[in-house]
Amino acid sequence: MDSTEKITNTKFLNTVIEIYEDIREELTQSESSAESVEKTVILLKEKAERGDSQAAFLLGQLHYEEGRYAEAEIIFDGIKDEDPRALYQLAVVYYDGLGTKEDLGKAIEYMRRVAFWESSEVGSVRHAALYNLGRAYLEGYGVQTSSAEAERLWLLAADDGNPDASVEAQSSLGMFYCRPESLDLRKAFSWHSEACGNGSLESQGALGVMYLYGHGVQKDPDAALFCLKDAAERGNVYAQGHLTACYYHRKLYSRAAALGERVCAYEDISAIARHTGCLEEFIRKGIAIAMFYYARCLHLGRGVLQNRDRAKTYFTQSKTPQKKTKEREAEYDSWQWTGPVPPKTQEQIKTQTYIHVAQEA
């Protein structure tokens, strides 16, 4: 088990013992994580057998977190008609084929039932389901592709910027209105602002770019720098790439070189995506931007000792070393969508993936 899995298990066990003090009392500090999990499974099972519906769901979720998808499926299936959270998790299991055969039809049916569950007790899982249905309609997974239906569902999921709704939907609407097919940069800026205010690191980086180029808002270099610096400090690699470019153009070459060198050293993109919640494609683009400007620093000896051989390597890795600086910057001005990537367990069936489209001058 890697460190990420251990942290996930610890967090979920903490959730369980916050709800059930008697389970907390049964666990001891000397026990290993695996021992604590097994004891918690036994205690939750006893409670579920006595009719505790909350314990039944937590038991299924604990199996899910442990990767015991077949056991989780059985438990969730038994309570799906009473607990929308269980129905939601079943949809994830069938969508991604976790421990069972992939079944997009059943996954969409279950997610739709959650989205339109006729009870106020459904809670925030409704917003998550609406968001996921929007993703399915945009990509055409299990349903006929419909951008209009994706937009409608995301607007419901975003709930006018409600912080308790789907922040992912709010951020996705920001991306949606940057697409050539549904271009409305004012709406894009508005939704990225809502999402950023609700904690979206992805949208904070997007806002920095919009302020930088005057997309959907009046160009404001100072606001752009503020957003990009804050997002970069929080780990947004796309923001780090653009911040490297900003430093370079402001002739802060030492800062550009130092940040660019650090970003160029990033290797495990999937780990960065898991840690920050940012999209892998944007992380790759952020690294590419940083590589380009760090290569310029190396090539010209700005802010770093001149090393043209090393500069050539980074120019090559940034994939478009032959382009002039302004042409290179123009690559990062608009978004489009692409296909699915590995699943997440809570807000998404499939993590959304966006790719910057190169705009040739």
- pLDDT tens by residue, 150-191: 999 999 999 999 999 999 999 999 999 999 999 999 999 999
pLDDT at 206 over 60: yes
**Percentage of the residues of the chain whose pLDDT score is greater than 70:** 86
Residue 168 lies in a domain: no
CA-to-CA distance for 307 and 299, rounded, in angstroms? 6
- Domain assignment of residue 67, given as a range: 1-79
**pLDDT for 326:** 41
Residue 148 lies in a domain: no
**pLDDT for 9:** 62
Q: Which of 264, 267, 268, 269 is nearest to 310 (CA)?
A: 264
> Binning pLDDT at 50, 70 and 90, where does residue 31 land?
confident
Residue 120 lies in a domain: no
Residue 179 lies in a domain: no
End-of-domain residue from the set 79, 97, 129: 79
pLDDT at 351 over 50: no
pLDDT at 263 over 80: yes
**Domains in the chain: how many in total?**
2
- Same domain, residue pair 207 and 63: no
pLDDT at 358 over 80: no
Mean pLDDT (the chain, rounded): 86
CA-to-CA distance for 127 and 169, rounded, in angstroms? 8
Interval 9-21: pLDDT, tens = 678 888 888 899 8
End-of-domain residue from the set 79, 96, 125: 79
- Same domain, residue pair 204 and 348: yes
**pLDDT for 265:** 96
Interval 285-305: pLDDT, tens = 999 999 999 999 999 999 999
**pLDDT for 34:** 85
Among the listed ranges 26-30, 152-156, 166-170, 278-282, which one has the minimum average pLDDT value? 26-30
pLDDT at 347 over 90: no
Residue 166 lies in a domain: no
109: CB partners within 8 A, 6+ apart = none
**Percentage of the residues of the chain whose pLDDT score is greater than 90:** 75
Q: What's the predicted TM-score (pTM) here? A: 0.80
Q: What is the mean pLDDT of residues 31-57?
A: 91
**pLDDT for 361:** 22
- Same domain, residue pair 213 and 357: yes
- Same domain, residue pair 71 and 210: no
End-of-domain residue from the set 54, 79, 104: 79
- Same domain, residue pair 345 and 214: yes
CA-to-CA distance for 260 and 286, rounded, in angstroms? 10
297 touches 257 (CB < 8 A): yes
Residue 263 lies in a domain: yes
- Same domain, residue pair 209 and 354: yes
The sign one gets for the Cα dihedral 196, 234, 18, 132 is positive
Interval 219-234: pLDDT, tens = 999 999 999 999 999 9
**pLDDT for 354:** 25
CA-to-CA distance for 15 and 10, rounded, in angstroms? 9
CATH number for position 320: 1.25.40.10
Interval 64-85: pLDDT, tens = 999 999 999 999 999 999 999 9
What angle, 0 to 180 degrees and rounded to 10, lies between the N-to-C axes of helices 53-65 and 3-19?
170
Residue 53 lies in a domain: yes
> Binning pLDDT at 50, 70 and 90, where does residue 41 land?
very high
Residue 156 lies in a domain: no
